[in-house]
Chain A
Amino acid sequence: MKQQVLVLYLNSSALDDRVVGWASYDGTGRTHPTTGDSDEPPYATGVDALRDGWRLFQASQLIPPYPGHEYDTSFLKHEFLFEKLE
């Protein structure tokens, strides 16, 4: 059994919000995704990926900002990991 992984970064913590970033990793070896290889996301929203058969297996926790760093920006906050198995 081989795993394909799709990572979607969403506009908010809601799974039906729009995709702002994406990555994919293909355990089947059929495709070779890499950095900067497309300008359009594979799905418009996280739910669109579910509808296409992707299985959600991890979502970012909602973590309060550390005191004194409330205005800092860093990594994208709303990361959702999906898989397909074959």
Chain B
Amino acid sequence: METTSHLLTSVLMARFAAQGFLRFDSVVPDDLNAVAMDAMRAGVPDVPYGVPLSKAFPDDSFARRLVGLPVVAGALHSLVGPEPTVDHIAVHVREPNEGMAQPLHGDAIIDTRRDAFDVQLMYYPHEVTADMGGTLLVPGSHLRLTNESDTGRYQNLRGQIRLTCPAGTVLFLHHGIWHGGRRNDSAQRRFMFKTRFNPTTPQVRLWDTTDLDDPAVRAELTTTFPWYEHATGRLEIYNRIALWRTLTGDDTFDIDYWATRVSNRPGRTA
């Protein structure tokens, strides 16, 4: 599996830290999309919790080919390391004209880890048009501490993404991001293949760091979103600083002095 030539850049890692997801359009070739569609219709075998990625999928499966694509392998290596475990897989189907959307939610349960994160891969083997109920994503929601669908009252947030995408698109999501399957108002079934990955190594500088000092890194990390309340948005930046410090191992990193100012206690050691 080739990974080193397709590691994420620091700019993309910073985007992930700020937005809670990365998107790669049309990176899966058409022939693999066709194989994946057939497999999803037939039923994809479960993977037991915690199997190392290298042992999780049969060699001839679409899932093995998917995670072996250089762009996918490189992103996974950058985010969760060289040999993550597969937490679980799922085939999500939004039925035609089903009349309902999923409530906005974060997967699993509230997750208070600040120095590690899981990544969820979402793979769309066919084109997703506006009326097919593409995944709803809320950029920058991944560091909010909420439990599963307790956010269900939030139907719409400014700046939300109602995903439309070409066939073969892959997303990588931080485990905490708010999302949901939207109502499918079309006459077609919509398929999505999801895999959750757990890191097995500290998530520190696993990507291509040659551009770490690029001003675009800081620009990504200062991104705000239209749904942030003004005051809480500042706390989002503060928490993002902490995440970037963890990812880089640099405990002096700061943005606009937010973290330095509130930790300045002259003469005290703790």
Using a CB–CB cutoff of 8 Å, the interface residues on chain A facing chain B are 7, 9-12, 19-24, 32-39, 41, 71-78
* Contact assessment for A21 and B239 in the assembled complex, using a CB-CB cutoff below 8 Å: no
Is B164's beta carbon under 8 Å from chain A?
A: no
Q: Can you report 14 A-B residue pairs in the complex whose CB atoms are below 8 A from each other?
A: A9-B157, A9-B227, A12-B229, A20-B158, A21-B227, A35-B152, A36-B182, A37-B101, A37-B156, A71-B235, A71-B239, A73-B145, A73-B235, A74-B146
Task: Tell me which residues across on chain A come within 8 A of B174, comparing CB atoms.
Answer: none
B237 to chain A, nearest CB (A): 10
B231 at the interface (CB under 8 A from A): yes
Chain B nearest CB, measured from A3 CB (Å): 16
| Among candidates A20, A34, A74, A78, residue contacting B157 with C-beta atoms closer than 8 Å | A20
Which residues from chain B sit less than 8 Å from chain A, CB to CB?
A: 99-104, 136, 143-146, 150-158, 160, 162, 180, 182-183, 226-232, 235-236, 238-239
A23 cross-chain contacts in B, Cβ below 8 A: 153-156
Give complex CA distance A19, B3 in Å.
Answer: 44
Chain B residues, CB < 8 A from A75: 144, 146, 150-151
15 further A-B contacts with Cβ under 8 Å, apart from A9-B229, A39-B158, A75-B150, are A12-B231, A20-B229, A23-B156, A32-B99, A34-B101, A35-B155, A36-B183, A37-B101, A37-B155, A37-B156, A39-B162, A73-B232, A76-B232, A77-B232, A78-B229
Given A35-B104, A75-B151, does the pair A19, B158 have CB atoms closer than 8 Å? yes
**A22 to chain B: closest CB distance in Å?**
5
* B155 partner, pick from A19, A34, A74, A77, beta carbons under 8 A: A34
Determine if B136 and A36 form an interchain contact, defined as CB atoms under 8 angstroms apart.
Answer: yes
Contact of A74 among B102, B145, B180, B226 (CB under 8 A): B145
A-B pairs with the 7 shortest C-beta distances? A36-B136, A23-B155, A35-B101, A36-B182, A21-B157, A34-B101, A20-B227
> Is the CB–CB distance between B232 and A9 below 8 Å?
no
Task: Say yes or no: B162 contacts A11, CB within 8 Å.
Answer: no
A78 to B228, CA, bound (A): 11
In the complex, which of the residues B146, B180, B226, B227 contacts A35, with contact meaning CB atoms closer than 8 Å?
A: B180
